[in-house]
Structure 1
């Protein structure tokens, strides 16, 4: 586990990871909608 001294770095890394997951999911959904639209 992270010690008390590493919590700021941990929170920063985790926040960045959550941001990437959020925007990656949105981008994937948009690309999926575009592909379905082009096929239909």
Structure 2
């Protein structure tokens, strides 16, 4: 069995994927909040 040493794996691809995911979630949340505010203002 191969020896595994903690902290040696290259995780740059996983970090880029996570950063992209968090960016999309943040943008989606902001758009949703702005859309809800717009709807509330239009409906008075």
The answer to whether TM tops 0.5 is yes
TM-score (norm 1): 0.83
Gaps of 5+ in 2: 1-7
Q: Which protein has greater RCO, CA pairs closer than 8 Å, 6+ apart?
A: 1
* CA-atom RMSD in angstroms: 1.3
Q: Which runs of 4+ in 1 moved over 4 A?
A: none
Distance 1:39 1:13 in 2: 39
- Hey, which of these two has a bigger chunk of helix by percent? 1
Structure having the higher Rg: 2
Gaps of 5+ in 1: none
SS at match of 1:4: coil
TM-score (norm 2): 0.76
